[in-house]
């Protein structure tokens, strides 16, 4: 069904693998459409409780497809950017954890895709960068906005203006990734994180994700109000009763996503 990605579900985890290794998994319109379509499946499918997003071969994603962009006029470029933003925003809106398993180059739109995920784990072989200024453009899938929110304005300007490529260790140091693993441990590390999250109350996890994403840019008073309402939703769940009862009965909670 998909031509440029692989999508499979196993053990409650949805695996999206971007699969254009000959083009370093560059994001063309079709790849973006297919990631979006997989996200639609993920959103609907109760069997999927977490997502791991990775790339086939030596790249995670080496950016938007330069060959395709080269053919586009400004209107076409704008449409591609809108499509990219829709994908990134959709990943942020789905109330399930998305983990980027950054196996190799995460450049331009690839770094932006990783940043739209909730948690980033980098292989020791990963390389990060926003090299758009080499091409006469700037980040266009959210990089000018998400990068400063993750690493601070100064470091974001440094990375975007110099187009410097950084390694996994530096990415960890500046807060662009949350963990680094050896190449062979990359997916197992992501699976362990996914399984840990999946053992918690799903409603609380989903609401926590949306509250962090939706509250981040609000002023503190509005953000506090958002948290109170979000908290109240989780407080009304059966999982809250189960979680607290299990604690008091000194047993493991059995959450039912209700």
Least distance in Å: CB of 64 to ligand HXC?
4
Q: Does 101 bind ligand HXC (CB under 6 A)?
A: no
Query: Of 15, 105, 128, 255, which one interacts with ligand HXC (CB under 6 A)?
Result: 105
Q: Does 128 bind ligand HXC (CB under 6 A)?
A: no
Query: Of 55, 63, 97, 243, which one interacts with ligand HXC (CB under 6 A)?
Result: 63
The H-or-E segment that residue 128 falls in is: strand 127-129
Of 198, 199, 50, 48, residue with least CA distance to 118: 50
Binding mask 219-248 toward ligand HXC (x if CB under 6 A, else -) reads ------------------------------
Q: Does 65 bind ligand HXC (CB under 6 A)?
A: yes
Query: Of 109, 202, 206, 243, which one interacts with ligand HXC (CB under 6 A)?
Result: 109
The answer to whether the beta carbons of residues 119 and 100 sit under 8 Å apart is: yes
Least distance in Å: CB of 140 to ligand HXC?
3
Q: Which of residues 132-161 bind ligand HXC (CB under 6 A)?
A: 132, 135, 140-141
The answer to whether the beta carbons of residues 234 and 203 sit under 8 Å apart is: yes
Active site residue 132: yes
Contacts of residue 94, Cβ cutoff 8 Å, sequence gap at least 6: 39, 42, 43
**233 token code pair:** 């939703």
How many C-beta atoms lie closer than 10 Å to residue 166's C-beta?
Answer: 19
Give 98 or 141: the residue with its C-beta nearer to ligand HXC.
141
How far from chain centre, in Å, is Cα 235?
A: 27
Least distance in Å: CB of 81 to ligand HXC?
5
Catalytic residue among 132, 178, 191, 242: 132
- Walk across the sheet containing 166-167 and list its strands: 59-61, 105-107, 127-129, 166-167
Contacts of residue 121, Cβ cutoff 8 Å, sequence gap at least 6: 99, 100, 101, 102, 177, 178, 179, 180, 181, 186, 189, 190, 193
**What is the binding site for ligand HXC (CB under 6 A)?**
23-24, 26, 59, 62-67, 80-81, 84, 105, 107-109, 131-132, 135, 140-141
Kindly list the catalytic residues: 112, 132
């Amino acid at each position: 069904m998909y031509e440029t990605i692989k999508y499979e579900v196993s053990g409650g985890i949805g695996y999206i693998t971007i699969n254009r290794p000959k083009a370093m998994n560059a994001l063309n319109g079709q790849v973006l459409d297919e990631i979006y379509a997989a996200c639609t499946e993920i959103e609907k499918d109760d069997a999927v409780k977490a997502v791991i997003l990775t790339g086939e071969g030596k790249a995670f994603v080496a950016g938007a497809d330069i060959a395709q962009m080269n053919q586009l006029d400004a209107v076409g470029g704008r449409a591609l950017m809108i499509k990219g933003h829709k994908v990134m925003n959709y990943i942020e809106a789905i109330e399930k954890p998305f983990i980027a398993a950054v196996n190799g180059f995460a450049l331009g739109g690839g770094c932006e895709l990783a940043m739209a995920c909730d948690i980033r784990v980098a292989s020791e072989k990963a390389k990060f960068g926003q090299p758009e200024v080499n091409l006469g453009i700037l980040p266009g899938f959210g990089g000018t906005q998400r990068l400063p929110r993750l690493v601070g304005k100064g470091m974001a300007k440094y990375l975007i203006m110099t187009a410097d490529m950084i390694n996994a260790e530096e990415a960890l140091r500046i807060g662009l990734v949350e963990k680094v693993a050896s190449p062979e441990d990359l997916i197992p590390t992501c699976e362990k994180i996914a399984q840990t999250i999946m053992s918690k109350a799903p409603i609380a996890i989903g609401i926590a994700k949306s509250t962090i994403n939706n509250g981040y840019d609000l002023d503190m008073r509005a953000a506090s109000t958002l948290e109170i309402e979000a908290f109240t939703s989780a407080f009304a769940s059966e999982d809250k009763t189960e979680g607290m009862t299990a604690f008091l009965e000194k047993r493991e909670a059995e959450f039912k996503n209700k």
